Amino acid sequence: MGIAELLHAVDGSGEFGVWLGGLDGKPVFEHRSDRTHYSASTMKLPVAIALQRKVAAGELTLDQPVTVHNDFASEAGGRFGVDPAEDEAPATWSRMGTDVPLGWLTAEMITLSSNLATDLVLERVGIAAAHAVLAEYGDGRSAIRRGIDDRAAQAAGISNEMSPAGLAGVLVAVGNQEDAYLRDLLAANQWNGEIPARLPAGTRVEHKNGWDVRIRHDGGVVRPPDADPFVLVVCTTSDLPDARAQQLIAEIALVAWEHRHDLGAIR
């Protein structure tokens, strides 16, 4: 079964988008890749790139101390905090009130998808800098406009959006970096229920996923040992059970893997 057939099987259940191509940035298969979804945690990758840029510019350092706190400025005015019940990465919470290195927070943000760590990093980097990454590499539709759990901003219609093509552009940029820092963080992702799930054990997948109510996304660079790397992004906003949405992404990734020697043959 091809990717088109997999998508046809869930037609009518929601919005599904796919971008598949090489590290040259050229797609070989697209399905509604320009439609944006709520980004969920996929926005954490542009935040990490913005941090990387500020480190390179000498504005920040990975070893500088950051006091862990849970009080942030809302983009709608006022203050907000991250909901601990919706953060599945407990290590950052265990450091509350203590100083930790900015680089440690970045690793928590990418490898464990910590929401609290994300807002702490974003506070240092700035929303404008994170959005600028998407403006440069994305498709012009994706955007970072607020921190994680900024409910007041969400209620005011201030949202983070990501299209498959937008995330693919960011992944292509990271995948071509000579510096392996971000690529290694992505490869160390501990949440592997989507793109890596059905690939051969040990396959290097540099990916960032995201999930929320009705949301399940994953995007990454897959590096087969016997073929050129490829980039795959699947975004889903649907009424599918979450496990089924994960399965769909894993099945699409398996089709891509099976065609890794000739991606252009995928239909």
Query: Among 161, 186, 218, where does a domain finish?
Result: 161
Q: 232: domain CATH number?
A: 3.40.710.10
Same-domain pairing of 60 and 157: yes
Same-domain pairing of 46 and 153: yes
**Amino acid making up residue 122:** L
Mind listing the pLDDT tens digit for each residue in 104-141? Answer: 999 999 999 999 999 999 999 999 999 999 999 988 99
For residue 50, the model assigns a pLDDT of 98
Expressed as residue numbers, the domain containing 92 is: 41-161
**Amino acid making up residue 140:** G
For residue 1, the model assigns a pLDDT of 77
- Which segments of the chain have a pLDDT < 50? none
Same-domain pairing of 172 and 136: no
Query: Among 143, 161, 179, where does a domain finish?
Result: 161
Closest CA to 184 of 103, 68, 101: 103
**Amino acid making up residue 154:** Q
Number of domains in the chain: 2
Mind listing the pLDDT tens digit for each residue in 208-230? Answer: 999 999 999 999 999 999 999 99
The overall pTM is greater than 0.85: yes
Same-domain pairing of 118 and 9: no
Same-domain pairing of 179 and 143: no
For residue 139, the model assigns a pLDDT of 87
